[in-house]
Structures are given as C-alpha cells and as structure tokens.
Amino acid sequence: MKMPEYTSNLVVESNCPYCDKKLDGAYGPGEGPTEGSLSICIGCRNVSVFGEGLVLRKPTKTEMIEEIAGNPEILDIMAQFSQMDEMKSLLNKEESEDEEVCLFGGTD
Ligand SMILES: [Zn+2]
C-alpha cells in the first residue's frame, strides 16, 4: 500500500476561525484542499474546515463527530505537530542558554 505524499499547498488566505491567525498554506495529501477539506491551525491546533470559496470555518457538530474525531490522518498530523513542539522547545532552550553565554560584560 502506498502512503499518500504530504505536500505543502498554497491556498487562498483565510483566517483561523478560532484564533484568527492568518493562514495561507495548507498541509495535506494531494493537490491541495477543496471544499470540505480539513485544516489544522498551526497556531492553536484546532481543526477547521474549508468552506465555500476555501474560507475556513469551524466544523459542524456532525463533521466533528464523523470526520474529525478519531480520524487517523488528523491524529497523525497532530502527532507530528507535537513532535515539532518538542523539537522547538529544545531549540529554544539551547538558544536561551546561548544568549546567556554570549552576554558580554556591560559597562562597569
Ligand atoms: Zn488557530
């Protein structure tokens, strides 16, 4: 079985319906999102749906239950996000340590 290839697709600019973050890219398999495709906000990690004109909207209760809850693709992407978070927090730690090391003595 061939796994779908994940690509980054530029889409119409749309704001996250949860945190209002401007999103102009989508991450998912295939040629890009279509109406009804799911999107995970890189800011707040909430799942939204591409609605009419590829404008993001909050999913309906039915979509939440039938398409989002337990969706292995969504879970997979969520897992990748948390891995990125871990890596980022490690990097941030190193950066802040570097900053401390790089502090030169100021004026006496
Ligand atoms: Zn968001």
Distance (angstroms) between ligand 1 centre and the Cα of 57 equals 11
Distance (angstroms) between ligand 1 centre and the Cα of 22 equals 8
Distance (angstroms) between ligand 1 centre and the Cα of 19 equals 4
Distance (angstroms) between ligand 1 centre and the Cα of 48 equals 9
Distance (angstroms) between ligand 1 centre and the Cα of 59 equals 13
- pLDDT tens string, the chain, 108 residues long: the values are 555 555 555 556 788 999 999 876 665 566 777 888 888 888 898 999 989 988 899 999 999 999 999 899 888 888 888 898 898 888 888 765 555 444 555 555
Sign of the torsion angle spanned by Cα atoms 41, 3, 71, 11: positive
Dihedral angle computed from the Cα positions of residues 58, 63, 67 and 69, in that order, rounded to the nearest 10 degrees = 80
Q: In this predicted structure, what is the pLDDT of residue 41?
A: 87
Q: Is the pTM of this model over 0.85?
A: no
Distance (angstroms) between ligand 1 centre and the Cα of 58 equals 10
Length of the chain in terms of residues written: 108
